[in-house]
Structure 1
Amino acid sequence: MDNSSLKQRLERLECHFTWDLGQHRNELQGMKRKMQNVDQETCTWPVHYYNLLGYIHQTLGSNSEAVKHLHKAESVIQEQGTEEAGVQLQVNKANLAWVYFHLGEMNKSKGYLEEVERLQRMHPAPPGCTLHPEVSGEKGWTLVRFNKSKKRQAIDYFKMALNAEPDRKEWHKGLAIAMNTAYIWSEFTPELDADILEQVKTASEIDPNDLFLQSLYILRKSKAQAENNEEEVQSILERTLSTGNLDGLGFIFEYFRLISFERAIQEGQRIREKFPDSTTVLKILADLYKRKVYSMKEDSQERQAWAQKGIELFEEVVRDNPDSVRGWISLASLHCYAHNTERADEIYQQLLSEKDDLPPHTQQFLYYSYSCHLYYNKQSRDQYQRRQSRDPYQRRQSRDQSIDYLMKAAAIQNTSEDRQKSIMLLKKTVKNGRHSRCEEISKFLKIVLKDE
């Protein structure tokens, strides 16, 4: 078998290397750091964990690490000794076949390929199923960790797995997570909200000990039914702290923030004292400080002081995760509130210089955020400079650049909140009719929206 024939057979396999996960370094580096923070002793999804890490390491060029993690997944599957092991090994060994193909070890690659094909014959998909539910579920769990377009696909694969195994709690949890995060704000309807709430409720009832699901359910129920569930949330928080499993902590603090920033920040500071090394707690507390600053409408020394506290926390966030574009942009935003606009400019210029390493949805977020920075923050500084120089050119330049970056975000054909907001602002500009570029913007919108 020549290399071309081998590759054609490999491309027909179901595994991480054929699931079109993307090869954007920024996204994969960030995902790798998050996964390395997972406690491997208490990890409830070790097979998914090691398989995905294997793919990430190989894509980032660490072939030896990829092989190591894929063999760990293989060991976990074999140790479990479950009925599903033969099917789980199909994905795992297909990944190994691909890694050895990339390493140029064609005989090993061919050997794993033949093992996969043998396992496929031994464990075919049930009647009426395109994929075996174990393969469909593994694919769903992988896709749900990527962007919204992949999460949409994950919904279909979890539903496919549930059609064959309607009581499987892993597939119900995956479907709840995917549905909770797959849609943008403009797509929500009362019917969709009700469907998501029902799925989250079902998943939480099937696995009442899963604090992630319990936290997500109480948050969604509180929003949908305008209920006061403070005692129940506090109980879940205390259970979370006693177990040290912080997966659902973000949902708990979203609930507290709906009550008051003061309550949320007080709890956040308490938990930071208990878990000083937790990156999860750090991000939550940093985000609370940022949102507190955003909620303060008037510029004041108090707001600047809160912004400075937020800056200190986000400096830690980006030090722990330098690939976090959202972390860097939050830091830039707080620098503006603290009147350090030059530092914010530096952060944006660094991010823009690395834009080619970003996946489409992150590029859209960067362009939209920078457009807002140009319009609101740089313009404020330019107005001060203009009063000194009596030169209006800088203000026009900032506005024109702001429009340019809205157009950059809108031009990327990827569904996201940031693209929707960019299009909305461009339409508003045309409707107002006062900008010199209205005709250009109108033509641009007709082109990018022609198929929508």
Structure 2
Amino acid sequence: MSTISKNSLKGSLLQLQCHFTWTLLKQDVDLEDLEETIYYQIEFLMKSNAINYNLLSYVCYLKNSNEEALRNLKKAEEVVKKNHPDEISRRSLVTWGNYAWIYYHMERYEEAQTYISKVEDSCKNLSNTAQQKIQLPEIYAEQGWAFLKFGAKYYERAKNCFENALKDEPNNPEFSAGYATAMYRLESFCHRQCEDISRSLEPLKHAVELNPKDTLVMALLALKLQDIKRVDEGEKYIEEAMQKTPDLPHFLRYAAKFYRRKGELDKALEILKKALEAAPKSAFLHHQLGLCYRRKLFELKKTRYPPQDQVEELIQLSIFHFKTAIEQKTTFFSAHTDLANMYAHNKRHKEAEETFQKAFQIKILSYSDKQEYYYHYGNFQLFHMKSESEAIKYFIEGLKIEKNSYGRKLCKSAVKKLLEQRIQGGLGDATDFGTLGFVHKLNGEKREAIECYEKAIALNPDSEEYLNALHELQLSS
């Protein structure tokens, strides 16, 4: 095939609605973990296997396994033929788009053109137009599920996709479940700094009403009710879901989270152990077990004379499960910081340091992950390595990422408290006043920032940094 026709093929490919044109970037996700998640959902959640096989084919392509990608697309076609024999064209557009792209990358251009033509012909029949970008609600929904799988960066786009799908079918149970899940994830991602943390409540309720068999959405509704202090109401949903899917690991992990947050740790542990029998490699389950043992440890330490053997056992159990979680999923950021903090708690400072470093080397960290990292690592420097200057340095690094998150809020609070303590204790030097001035400046507190920089300059009149900062503030006020 000539270069010109290869280029014209590319133009047609870019018009297709499929994973290759949805800007799902390899660097934003842990491919091994995503692949395992999809296999797990195919095994335990039968409802959307064509969608899962389509996404799995794209993951295989990203891992340079094109033949495996084609096998998964064949499975997607088989599922559609079996479940939707009257709507094969309508429900195969994404699959055929993926076929075209994979054949294109394999330099099998005639086969790529065959699938482009299949999409074009189907779109003509479905919409009486020649366009390939037919806007079907099923395609919006499939795009939404793919965005949800690719992580927090994509949640807003996922929400928009499900909103578009629901415009045509406002009472479609699957689209409603997707929209409610996206809303819940968005809130969970930012809930500790958002004003309103209950916007997902009505979408979750609506999704449960439309499909009372969907225990995953039921569990998210229960957790949301728990967030807004309606715990008893939430528990009713958990108990009802327990009757419906007592052996579904994906549901059980949420049920365990509900009881852990409620303080019923033995019940949470019992549920997690049951879920682990079905899904022994689940990093999430191991992480949740670690959190339960850690909570038990902290509860035990509140007693007057905690038995040392029990304390040690809970530390080791917690460490074991956090370690297992990151062995199963090497990019599991919070499991890394939880393990590092537990090592520090156990005075294993070298292992804590190594684990913190591994956490920061994860390639797919969000800005909020980085801010939380600086907070935890700053605390490690402060409380375990006894270095106030290093702690201040890392809290400031968290503040320099000028995006609001829970981690940034923690860094701000920690560094302000530390600097004010030093100053009030008479230990404050020019650097402390200058740093506090910088913190106030970042927070938009100009008057307080000016006062701090003036004090810093009084102690160190030759500092160009403080003089420039003060001059800049005075000009802008």
Instruction: Place the TM-score, normalised by the shorter chain, in its bin.
Output: 0.7 to 0.9
Give the conservation status (yes or no) of the 8 Å contact 1:137–1:157.
yes
Q: 1:296 to 1:41 in 2, by over 3 A?
A: closer
Give the conservation status (yes or no) of the 8 Å contact 2:29–2:151.
no
Aligned partner of 1:315 in structure 2 is 323
Aligned partner of 2:80 in structure 1 is 77
Aligned partner of 2:90 in structure 1 is 87
Give the C-alpha shift of residue 24 in structure 1. 1.2
**Amino acid of the residue matched to residue 43 of structure 1?**
M
Q: Structure 2 residue aligned with 1:437, among 395, 413, 435?
A: 435
Aligned partner of 1:381 in structure 2 is 384
Q: Structure 2 residue aligned with 1:198, among 172, 182, 202?
A: 202
Give the conservation status (yes or no) of the 8 Å contact 1:265–1:289.
no
**Amino acid of the residue matched to residue 334 of structure 1?**
M
Q: Does residue 16 of structure 2 align to residue 8 of structure 1?
A: no
Give the conservation status (yes or no) of the 8 Å contact 1:73–1:92.
yes
Q: TM-score normalised to the size of structure 2?
A: 0.77
Q: TM-score normalised to the size of structure 1?
A: 0.81
Aligned partner of 1:371 in structure 2 is 374
Q: Does residue 47 of structure 2 align to residue 37 of structure 1?
A: no
Match of 2:41, SS state, is coil
Deviating more after overlay: 258-267 vs 179-188: 258-267
Aligned partner of 2:239 in structure 1 is 234
Aligned partner of 2:123 in structure 1 is 120
C-alpha distance in 2 between matches for 1:337 and 1:310: 11
Aligned partner of 2:394 in structure 1 is 402
Give the C-alpha shift of residue 169 in structure 1. 0.9
1:206-285, aligned counterparts within 5 Å? 206-224=210-228, 226-229=230-233, 230=235, 233-241=238-246, 244-268=247-271, 271=274, 275=278, 277=280, 279=282, 281-285=285-289
Aligned partner of 2:451 in structure 1 is none
Instruction: Name stretches of at least 5 consecutive residues in structure 1 with no aligned partner.
Output: 384-394, 447-452
**Amino acid of the residue matched to residue 135 of structure 2?**
L
Q: Structure 1 residue aligned with 2:191, among 181, 185, 189?
A: 185
Give the C-alpha shift of residue 87 in structure 1. 2.2
Q: 1:106 to 1:152 in 2, by over 3 A?
A: same
Q: 1:218 to 1:342 in 2, by over 3 A?
A: same
Q: 1:416 to 1:140 in 2, by over 3 A?
A: farther
Q: Does residue 343 of structure 2 align to residue 338 of structure 1?
A: no
Give the conservation status (yes or no) of the 8 Å contact 2:257–2:268.
no
Match of 1:13, SS state, is coil
Match of 2:149, SS state, is coil
C-alpha distance in 1 between matches for 2:31 and 2:227: 33
C-alpha distance in 1 between matches for 2:331 and 2:209: 36
Aligned partner of 1:107 in structure 2 is 110
Deviating more after overlay: 272-281 vs 27-36: 272-281
Give the C-alpha shift of residue 444 in structure 1. 6.9
**Amino acid of the residue matched to residue 240 of structure 1?**
T
C-alpha distance in 2 between matches for 1:232 and 1:167: 21
C-alpha distance in 2 between matches for 1:27 and 1:20: 16
C-alpha distance in 2 between matches for 1:75 and 1:202: 32
C-alpha distance in 2 between matches for 1:130 and 1:212: 31
Larger radius of gyration: 2
Deviating more after overlay: 428-437 vs 166-175: 428-437
**Amino acid of the residue matched to residue 139 of structure 1?**
Q
Q: Deviations over 1:45-90 (max 9, x none)?
A: 1011111111112112222222221222122223323444312211
Q: 1:439 to 1:281 in 2, by over 3 A?
A: closer
C-alpha distance in 1 between matches for 2:410 and 2:313: 30
Give the C-alpha shift of residue 402 in structure 1. 0.8
Deviating more after overlay: 93-102 vs 80-89: 80-89
Quick one: percent identity of the two aligned structures?
Answer: 21
Match of 1:131, SS state, is coil
Q: Does residue 158 of structure 2 align to residue 150 of structure 1?
A: no
Instruction: Name stretches of at least 5 consecutive residues in structure 2 with no aligned partner.
Output: 445-477
Higher relative contact order (CA 8 A, sep 6+): 1
Aligned partner of 2:334 in structure 1 is 326
Give the C-alpha shift of residue 424 in structure 1. 6.8
